[in-house]
Amino acid sequence: MSALLVKIDGLRDLEHARVAVDAGADFVGFVFARTRRYVAPEVVAAIVAALPDSVKKVGVFVDEAADSVRSIVRDCRLDFAQLCGDESVEYCQALGVPSIKSFRVRGPEVANEVARFDGHVTWNILDGYQENSYGGTGIRFDWQLAQDLTRRFPIFLAGGLTESNVAEAIRIGRPAGVDVSSGVETDGTKDSAKITAFVAAARRAAEGNGY
């Protein structure tokens, strides 16, 4: 199996982005949806310019106009647009930039949703479901639901992951990657020690599970 990928999401400043990179994260994410983790495109552009090319940069959007997504991805020099809202397959097809689709898991029916987007997105993220929220809530879902999907599609697990439970998530779900935001925060702010510990825990778990 390929090496496990680790994504640190909801970054808002260069300090914590560098901590994530130094810890060994493969992806870093920046939220452009109007939530408490929102960060302005000009700030992200400056952060991205200071990071190595080796780490993949992701812009997180919720039902944003396609023209706006394309503009931000271009101007900030991002590698992927992560789509966390109700974007359609047709939206992904027409977007014109590499994309990641996030799915809020309520039950087994998520398998049909992921299958519909197969071939139209590069990665899929399975996240916990909370009504009227689109990710970053720290809500966990039943990782058993991911087992079949991770064998068939390129899947990241998200939702309620922490240093303490990421090993269990990897053992049960066998994903291509793990994605964390609230699980590496203290009082709503990114925590450098938690970022470093999460990446290390994920790496140990991957090694122990034959990645």
For 103-128, the pLDDT digits (tens) are 999 899 999 999 999 999 999 999 98
pLDDT confidence bin for 101, thresholds 50/70/90: very high
Q: Residue 66: what pLDDT?
A: 98
Q: Residue 136: what pLDDT?
A: 60
Domain ranges of the chain: 5-208
Using an 8 Å Cβ cutoff, are 126 and 155 in contact?
Answer: yes
**Any bridge partners for residue 7, and if so which?**
27, 179
Say whether pLDDT at 194 is over 90.
Answer: yes
For 9-55, the pLDDT digits (tens) are 999 999 999 999 999 999 999 999 998 999 999 999 999 999 999 99
Instruction: Enumerate long-range contacts of 164-171, CB under 8 Å, 24 or more apart.
Output: 164/201, 165/140, 166/198, 166/201, 166/202, 166/205, 167/201, 167/202, 167/204, 167/205, 167/208, 168/143, 169/143, 170/4, 170/202, 170/205, 170/206, 170/209, 171/205, 171/209
CATH number of 5-208: 3.20.20.70
Q: Residue 128: what pLDDT?
A: 82
